[in-house]
């Protein structure tokens, strides 16, 4: 039985396994194995088991339990979960009252029959690429426990990579879904900005924040995306654009799509094995074209200014009154952001429109762009510096070297995993124009069918077998 979410749901719906057995096995694994990875900050036992029994009763009565019936999932702990305090990776938020309702994204997965089993570790206030949290500990990479899982959605990626859950929710401001997806070797989708509702999610930088998800297969990513779409009055940037369902289109192939590899900035400072992965994907798709994107370094710098300014403004009161209660790495960057002149922020936003226009010109000639997700494989826990282009640079800011410029203008991107024997996983970004997620997923589905991209083999399953 395939242990992705679609496979589990099919087994539950067809009566080959009960939802109670699936969820019970999942909770048992989380209890036994989470200590090794430190993915979860909260585990939901009684409510998850009760919901699984309800799903089984619905099936026994011949009613439709939903297309994700019995599928366990977990969410980054910045999503509201009714009855739990929304930590957002922080000590300060732990003092807040529990949430009174689920975030919209959590509601939509539950409505499809998925069963929430817990909340997941992250960088404090989503400001980081490593998930080495001074309050809740570091999340470890399931492929090598001496290495980071990436961040800020590190718990979400590691939970899927380790096989604890087949599906998880995360958020992406500058690469916080794609970086951990690449380092942990799973699929991670950052949809178009405004495509999915952020209502009930603790925001970091409102003009850059996206929500998205992790999965073990392309069909899981496509189905979850289809379910999560839809306008929401709770999020002013979530548009009323009609949903465009991707799952039925996965087998259409890539004929007619114009695909190119990003060169220039995206080819500089990349570890040889990472560029080999990009080349492998390009060859599998018979791609011979390349594209140069102008002023990408400046786009990254502008994204830094916007992120730091908006994040610092959000936390200004606590930075003034209780700076000692922040994670030191987060606090120092927020304090620096509070000192950024307003005219710098305005200039960065103006440049943002110019950069968006350049991409619009590129997408008149190209449909899909391939690029590395991270410049290297997962660094060691506690590692402060790494070498890029022969120069020593800090790990924390530079893991987002290739993700940040694409978040800057809200493009949809899927990081797909490349696995090699006895080697750490590598991610390749598949990028398209706004609202063209279906093109991305068609490309990914073909690569998956060819065996080029895949999630790791889980050490044990959640399918009740």
Tell me the C-alpha to C-alpha distance, in Å, between residue 436 and each of 257, 270, 367. 12, 27, 9
Contact (CB, 8 A) for 181 and 162:
no
Examine residue 194 and say whether the peptide bond preceding it is cis (omega within 30 degrees of 0): no
3-state secondary structure of 140: strand
What does the pLDDT read at residue 2? 52
- C-beta of residue 407 within 8 angstroms of C-beta of residue 428: no
Q: Which H or E run contains 262?
A: strand 259-262
For the chain, domains (ranges, CATH) are 5-449 (3.90.1300.10)
Reply yes or no on whether 217 is catalytic.
no
Rounded Cα gap, residues 208 and 307, in angstroms: 7
Note the pLDDT of residue 465. Answer: 37
- H or E element: which one contains 426? strand 426-432
Residue from 162, 176, 217, 415 carrying the catalytic annotation: 176
With CA atoms as reference, report the closest residue to 91 among 307, 338, 324. 324
> Which tokens go with 337?
């952001």
DSSP 85-114: ---TT-SSGGGSPPBSS--HHHHHHHHTT-
Q: Check the CA dihedral 91-106-121-246 and report its sign.
A: negative
Q: Is 176 a catalytic residue?
A: yes
Q: Backbone phi, then psi, for 101, in 5-degree steps?
A: -155, 160
**φ/ψ (deg, to 5) at 54:** -65, -40
Query: Which residues, at least 6 apart from 67, have a Cβ–Cβ distance to it below 8 Å?
Result: 9, 112, 113, 223, 227
For residues 395 and 34, what is the distance between their CA atoms, to the nearest angstrom? Answer: 25
pLDDT of residue 319: 97
C-alpha 10, offset from chain centre: 25
Return the C-alpha torsion angle 320, 326, 328, 331, nearest 10.
-40
Sequence-ordered alpha helix ranges (H) in 340-391: 342-362
Per-residue tokens: 465 = 């077998």
Active site residue 162: no
Q: Helix 19-37 crosses helix 5-13 at what angle (to 10 degrees)? A: 150
Beta bridge partners of 197: none
| Among 69, 95, 299, CA closest to 167 | 69
pLDDT confidence of residue 421: 82
Q: What is the pLDDT of residues 29-54, one digit of tens each?
A: 999 999 999 999 999 999 999 999 99
Decide if 235 contacts 20 (C-beta within 8 A). Answer: no
Record the pTM. 0.97
Residue 106 contacts residue 40 (beta carbons within 8 Å): no
pLDDT in tens, 428-439: 999 999 999 999
Q: Which residues of the chain have pLDDT under 50?
A: 1, 459-465
Q: What are phi and psi of 170, to 5 degrees?
A: -145, -175
Of the residues 152, 168, 205, 217, which is catalytic? 152
SS3 43: strand
């Amino acid at each position: 039985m395939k242990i992705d979410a679609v496979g589990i749901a099919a087994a539950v719906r067809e009566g080959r396994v009960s939802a109670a057995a699936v969820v019970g096995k999942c909770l048992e694994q989380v209890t036994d194995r989470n200590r090794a990875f430190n993915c979860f900050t909260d585990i939901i036992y009684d409510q998850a088991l009760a919901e699984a029994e309800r799903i089984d009763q619905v099936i026994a009565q011949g009613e439709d339990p939903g297309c994700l019936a019995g599928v366990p999932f977990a969410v980054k702990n910045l999503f509201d979960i009714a009855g739990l305090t929304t930590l957002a990776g922080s000590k300060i938020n732990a003092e807040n009252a529990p949430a009174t309702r689920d975030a919209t994204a959590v509601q939509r997965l539950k409505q499809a029959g998925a069963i929430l089993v817990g909340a997941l570790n992250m960088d404090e206030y989503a400001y980081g690429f490593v998930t080495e949290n001074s309050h809740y500990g570091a999340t470890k990479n399931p492929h090598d426990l001496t290495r980071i899982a990436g961040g800020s959605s590190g718990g979400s990626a590691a939970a899927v990579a380790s096989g604890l859950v087949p599906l998880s929710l995360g958020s992406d401001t500058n690469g916080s879904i794609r970086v951990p997806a690449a380092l942990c070797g799973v699929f991670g989708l950052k949809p178009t900005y405004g495509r999915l509702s952020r209502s009930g999610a603790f925001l970091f930088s409102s003009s850059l924040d996206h929500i998205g998800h992790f999965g073990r297969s392309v069909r899981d990513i496509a189905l979850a995306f289809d379910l999560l779409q839809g306008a929401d009055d709770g999020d002013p940037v979530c548009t009323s654009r009609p949903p465009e369902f991707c799952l039925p289109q996965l087998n259409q192939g890539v004929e007619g799509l114009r695909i190119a590899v990003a060169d220039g900035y995206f080819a500089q400072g990349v570890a040889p094995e990472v560029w080999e992965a990009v080349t492998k994907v390009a060859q599998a798709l018979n791609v011979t074209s390349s594209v140069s994107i102008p002023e990408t370094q400046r786009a990254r710098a502008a994204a830094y200014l916007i992120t730091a300014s908006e994040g610092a403004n959000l936390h200004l009161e606590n930075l003034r009154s209780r700076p000692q209660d922040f994670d030191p790495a987060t606090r120092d960057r927020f304090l620096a952001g509070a000192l950024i002149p307003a005219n710098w922020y305005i200039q960065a936003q103006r440049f943002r429109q110019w950069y968006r226009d350049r991409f619009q010109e590129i997408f008149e000639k190209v449909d899909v762009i391939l690029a590395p997700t991270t410049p290297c494989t997962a660094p060691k826990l506690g590692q402060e510096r790494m070498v890029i282009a022969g120069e020593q640079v800090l790990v924390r800011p530079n893991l987002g070297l290739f993700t940040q410029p694409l978040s800057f203008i809200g493009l949809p991107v899927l990081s797909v995993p490349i696995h090699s024997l006895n080697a750490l996983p590598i991610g390749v970004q598949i990028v398209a124009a706004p609202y063209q997620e279906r093109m991305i997923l068609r490309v990914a589905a073909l690569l998956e069918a060819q065996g080029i991209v895949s999630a790791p083999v889980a050490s044990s399953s959640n399918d009740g077998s």
